[in-house]
A and B are shown apart, each in its own frame.
Chain A
Amino acid sequence: MAGFGYELIYTFLTALTVLFFDYGQAGYEKLSYTALIFLFSFCCLTVWFFRLKQNGKLIVTGILLANILTLRLLHIQQPSFFTPHIYLLLIECFFTAATSYIGARLMIRFVRIRLLCIACLFLLTVLSFIRMLTPITTGFFTALLLLLILLSDEIRLRWDKEKENARSLHMISLLPFLLLIILPAALLHFPDQPYDWKPFVAMWDHVTTAAGRIRFDFIPGDDAVIGFSDNGSLFSDLRSDEKEVLSVKTDFDLPCTLYLRGIVFDSFDGRKWTVKKTTSLPGATLDTLETLSGVSNSDVNPGDIIKNLDLNLTYLDNKSAYLFAPLKINELRGNTEKILQKDGSYCFKRYNPYRFEIRESFYILNSDNPTFASYMKNLSPPDASAWKQTAQHLGTAYLKEGCRYEDYLQYRQFIEDAYTQKIDLPPALEQELSELFKDAGSDYEKCKLLEEALGKMDYSVSTDPIPDQVQSESDFLSYFMLDGKKGYCSHFATSFVLIARSMGLPARYVQGYRVKVNKKGTYTVNTGRAHAWPEVYFEGIGWIGFEPTPGHFAATDWAMRNESETEKPEYSIPEYARRQEATDLSVPVPKPKTEKSPVFRFSKKMFFIPVVSLLLFLTMVALAGKLYRMSTYRKMNDRQKYICLSKENLHICDQLKLGIRQGETLSEFATRLEESIGENARAFIPGYEMILYGGSESILPDLSDAQQSRDALLQYLKQKRRLQYLWQKLF
């Protein structure tokens, strides 16, 4: 039984593999159950046929013929089922089973063929893996199962151990474990996309974050904006360092330039900016309130002047004491307990925590829109009621102490004190400036003209060191505006602030990061983005930033409502974001094939006809065989008859499990027979012994002894095993 199972497994799996790969290449997605049943049946019959002896082979042939007859009869009755397709399928399954059996026998018997099959199956696996072959999925796993069986067999054969010659039993007993390996893979549903390793990436992030956190705690803090040589110094060469310091994630599609303010300076000594004047007032909040009060108090549509945007800021490799945020912060969301306002900017109570994240809601000004300048002409500082109304409208955060109208007045006084030092301009510069500002209608226009003029100068990251004789603001202006005339952002920002102050405008020098955004997304800010720019205070709107550095443009503007939308859309849809056109319908998409499952209607005739035809066939074969044997027996001489009868008697003894044992002599066997059945059963043995060992052909034992034994044995067989008795009688 084990041997039958062993050969059947090899045959069936080989046949399945061949069929699945063949149909897969033809474009089919699966095989019908009809095909599988046919294949399995033919495999069973093939294996059985070759394992049985003559009578068994006849029975199998009978079964096959009976089935063919049944099919033929059924075809007449159900022509819709028995289409040519079915017959082709039958023939294909039959030949696949037969050839697979031959292949399986060769695999079982010859090592080289087995190794060749292992190599072929491995190759099939690899080709399927890299999509050069497209088997039906089940076929791939069938091939894998066959490969595992071959491997386990081969490993066992090469294993130097004490073992019985029972390869088949060993393999069959291990088959459940092999199925346990294959079945989960075959039954689970897998995605079509490659694996994205998200959990592992997340785990890796956790590990690196933890490691970074530990390392971060050992790094000393830094007051300076990373990317600048020193606190407020104007050194000669900028340090180039591409270290990533911030990550900015925007959720708006407005192209603009974000100026993330860090440190705000008030005093310049010709060489370096410092902070000399401090206030505990929340300058940033007061600035926002002033802007909003001014805008809401004016006639313009607030949406034309300001927009409320949000961004998420994450600190990367940056241990700064300052929170980088744009002007006009509306609200900070996150771990705000660690943040306080100081001198017009935000800073941490201690240094920023590792990978600090915060959401910043701010207002951006439509400052690069040409009509913004005309708005700026009609500015007026808000009164107390407008202030209170705005604060109440914005929320309770704006009603608390530090944000009252009185605080605002106090803050304005601070601005006057801190950011409006009188500066004596060099005469040549004063003359140039007066020429520049001659057509300016307002202070804002003057600032814009100054911004433009400075923007036309030369930008250079490598400049000569500031001469030693430059010891004041005037000296610096003389040096830079009249002699040097080239520098980088710090120089231009400083010049702008000093000139603005000379015009009587409060101006301050700011260091931070400049980030140009085009659309919604995440932007990584490295030290190369460190920047300095000036901010000027205008009553009624608060601080406004300018960009005097050559080659840098703020470019923040959007269409106002009174402008034509066709001339200046609010934002342009990037090309990639447009909806994809529908695919070309002229080329038809091939549908996946599925082998059709024909409809089969079962009727009682389908059961009876093959059984009856099989029985008829067997009966005919039995009768024919019996007649043949009887005829042959009649032609034998007595000696031959005795031998024939003795062999038959021994065969009956085997069926009764009383056959002669290994190492047992005939006399011992005879004794045993007599004990089990009776004296008559052993009667043939002495004669048989004489024939076997007598040597002479003339020895002739009594035939009746053999017949007597036969009768006794048959009688005993009839009592013990009736079925085998019938078989014996028939065949």
Chain B
Amino acid sequence: MQRNRIILAILWLLSVAGISFYGGPVSYGLFTVLTLIPVISLLYLLLVFMRFKMYQEFTSPGIVCNHPVPFYFTLQNEDLFAFSGVRVTFHSDFSHIDGLSDRTEYELLPHSRIKKETNLLCHYRGEYEVGIRSVVLQDFFRLFRLTYQNREPLKAIVKPDIIVLDQLENLDMDSVSDRPAPHSARSLDSTIRSYIPGDDIRRIHWKQTARLGQLCVRNMTGEEKAGIGMILNTRKISEDPAVYLPSENRILETAIALTLFFKNKNIPVDLYWQEHEKPKQLCVDSADAFSGFYDAMSALSFDTDLSEEPFYEDLILHQHLYQKQLLILITPDINEEAAVFAQKVTDNDCDLMICHISDEEKKDLPFEKSTITVRSIPTSGDLGKYL
């Protein structure tokens, strides 16, 4: 393109010099032609810009991270003149389209179309733009290039990937699943909930029922197996999507993978996190519960203004937390608040595993490492390898 422009500029300057010395239709005509070439080229580009049509879609209703979905895009020329050079660039930060390169230029003859069927692969969970990012048009003399952004971008809502773990490294599953809970026969029920049809009538708490006027049953935690506690740090670490998307994606993948792993081992998992500054809790002990949990994780929104200190302090006050066989903290940052929490957990003789989601391995940990298991998990790569 630069070469063509330089040649045209030189010829134009020569013609300008020519009309200063020679009159007549030849010299003026040549000058006019050389002046009109860039004008008409721009006009052509403008026409192509106005008339060019493109369509893109992906047919799958739900997109899951790292699972390809069919993607179609069509470039169409409905006019009587050819579109000499059309290049399409795609969003590539968080997604990838198979078989399509940003460097490919297309020529569209009159009343022709180019249809491509391929696959879209999203790398991270979240909501972001996918598909065609911009279109670059070139004229037939390759003098000018016009780039314009896609006016109707495709937005994809991507769910996190479900990774199935066969085993966890350095974790004795037998001890986790068989260790009896520190529970005495006269320990009080920790929770009471409403009666659900199917519950054992022997578990009905008559006092509470009389008080509340509705059937209530005891949640006898002492009778159930000891579960796993999982704490998620849902503070958004950056406003830059290139930074926070991979981190959030990995946090959720880790949570889902671990929960699935324990669920498959018949070990209930209690999850704790904060969303919109409110503490949330979810127990996953069945397939249905896992489905609800997965939906909750897919919709989970991280918050920049989230304050970790009150969250950890609130958790520390949950005494039943220390009755878990294992506590897992999934966090992108091991800071002072996390260290205090970790210390408290270990003081209560509870095992703690910290999954540090970061591409940089934290070397100076604010607590004694020997009491706590720290797994550094980068934001990319095979999760199973790190767990």
Interface residues of A (CB under 8 A from B): 125, 128-131, 137, 140-141, 144, 151-152, 155-156, 159-164, 166, 169-170, 173-174, 176-177, 180-182, 184-186, 188, 190-195, 197
* B44, B80, B141 pick with most chain A CB within 10 angstroms: B141
How far does the alpha carbon of A190 sit from the alpha carbon of B22 in the complex, in Å?
11
Does B84 have its Cβ within 8 Å of any Cβ on chain A? Answer: yes
How far does the alpha carbon of A143 sit from the alpha carbon of B27 in the complex, in Å?
14
Minimum C-beta distance from B41 to chain A (A): 8
Does B30 have its Cβ within 8 Å of any Cβ on chain A? Answer: yes
Task: Pull 16 A–B residue pairs with CB atoms less than 8 Å apart, ordered by A.
Answer: A129-B18, A129-B22, A141-B29, A144-B33, A155-B142, A156-B84, A159-B107, A169-B82, A170-B82, A180-B40, A185-B29, A188-B28, A190-B23, A192-B23, A193-B23, A194-B22
B36: contacting residue among A128, A161, A181, CB under 8 A:
A181
A177: contacting residue among B20, B85, B140, CB under 8 A:
B140
Quick one: which of B9-67 are within 8 Å of A by CB? 18-30, 32-33, 36-37, 40, 43-44
Contacts of B105 in A (CB 8 A): 159-162
How far does the alpha carbon of A582 sit from the alpha carbon of B370 in the complex, in Å?
118
A-B pairs, top 6 by smallest CB distance, nearest first, are A190-B28, A161-B105, A185-B32, A163-B107, A185-B29, A173-B82
Contacts of A173 in B (CB 8 A): 80-82, 109-110
Task: Tell whether, in the assembled complex, residue B109 and residue A131 are in contact, meaning their CB atoms are under 8 Å apart.
Answer: no
How far does the alpha carbon of A130 sit from the alpha carbon of B21 in the complex, in Å?
10
Known: A155-B141, A170-B107, A173-B81. A180 touches B36 (CB 8 A): yes
Task: Tell whether, in the assembled complex, residue B142 and residue A159 are in contact, meaning their CB atoms are under 8 Å apart.
Answer: yes
Contacts of B28 in A (CB 8 A): 185, 188, 190-191, 195
B19: contacting residue among A155, A174, A195, CB under 8 A:
A195
Chain B contact patch, size range: 35 or more
B82: contacting residue among A128, A144, A174, A197, CB under 8 A:
A174
Known: A166-B109, A195-B20. A174 touches B29 (CB 8 A): no
Nearest chain-A residue to B41 (Cβ)?
A177
Does B114 have its Cβ within 8 Å of any Cβ on chain A? Answer: yes
Contacts of B24 in A (CB 8 A): 190, 192
Interface residues of B (CB under 8 A from A): 4, 18-30, 32-33, 36-37, 40, 43-44, 80-82, 84-85, 104-107, 109-110, 112, 114, 140-142
Contacts of B140 in A (CB 8 A): 152, 155-156, 174, 177
Task: Tell whether, in the assembled complex, residue A177 and residue B36 are in contact, meaning their CB atoms are under 8 Å apart.
Answer: no
How far does the alpha carbon of A161 sit from the alpha carbon of B24 in the complex, in Å?
41
Minimum C-beta distance from B103 to chain A (A): 9
Known: A164-B107, A169-B82, A188-B32. A137 touches B22 (CB 8 A): no
Contacts of B32 in A (CB 8 A): 184-185, 188
Minimum C-beta distance from B220 to chain A (A): 69
Task: Tell whether, in the assembled complex, residue B19 and residue A185 are in contact, meaning their CB atoms are under 8 Å apart.
Answer: no
Known: A125-B30, A137-B26. A194 touches B109 (CB 8 A): no
Using A131-B22, A174-B82 as known contacts, list a sample of 14 further A-B pairs with CB atoms less than 8 Å apart, ordered by residue number in A: A129-B22, A141-B29, A156-B84, A161-B105, A161-B106, A161-B107, A162-B105, A162-B106, A162-B107, A170-B107, A184-B32, A188-B29, A194-B21, A194-B27
Nearest chain-B residue to A134 (Cβ)?
B26
B26: contacting residue among A129, A170, A188, A197, CB under 8 A:
A129
B141: contacting residue among A152, A163, A182, A188, CB under 8 A:
A152
Contacts of A164 in B (CB 8 A): 107, 109, 112
Known: A155-B141, A180-B40, A190-B24. A144 touches B30 (CB 8 A): yes
Nearest chain-B residue to A178 (Cβ)?
B40
Contacts of A176 in B (CB 8 A): 81
How far does the alpha carbon of A193 sit from the alpha carbon of B25 in the complex, in Å?
10
Contacts of B25 in A (CB 8 A): 137, 140, 190
Contacts of B80 in A (CB 8 A): 173
Contacts of A130 in B (CB 8 A): 22
How far does the alpha carbon of A193 sit from the alpha carbon of B37 in the complex, in Å?
24
A182: contacting residue among B33, B44, B84, B142, CB under 8 A:
B33
How far does the alpha carbon of A180 sit from the alpha carbon of B40 in the complex, in Å?
7
Minimum C-beta distance from B73 to chain A (A): 14
A161: contacting residue among B4, B21, B85, B110, CB under 8 A:
B85
Nearest chain-A residue to B4 (Cβ)?
A155
Task: Tell whether, in the assembled complex, residue B85 and residue A159 are in contact, meaning their CB atoms are under 8 Å apart.
Answer: yes
How far does the alpha carbon of A144 sit from the alpha carbon of B109 in the complex, in Å?
25
Contacts of B142 in A (CB 8 A): 155, 159
How far does the alpha carbon of A184 sit from the alpha carbon of B25 in the complex, in Å?
12
How far does the alpha carbon of A180 sit from the alpha carbon of B36 in the complex, in Å?
8
Nearest chain-B residue to A195 (Cβ)?
B19
Known: A129-B18, A159-B142, A194-B22. A186 touches B104 (CB 8 A): no
Minimum C-beta distance from B43 to chain A (A): 8
Contacts of A188 in B (CB 8 A): 28-29, 32
Nearest chain-B residue to A161 (Cβ)?
B105
Contacts of B21 in A (CB 8 A): 194
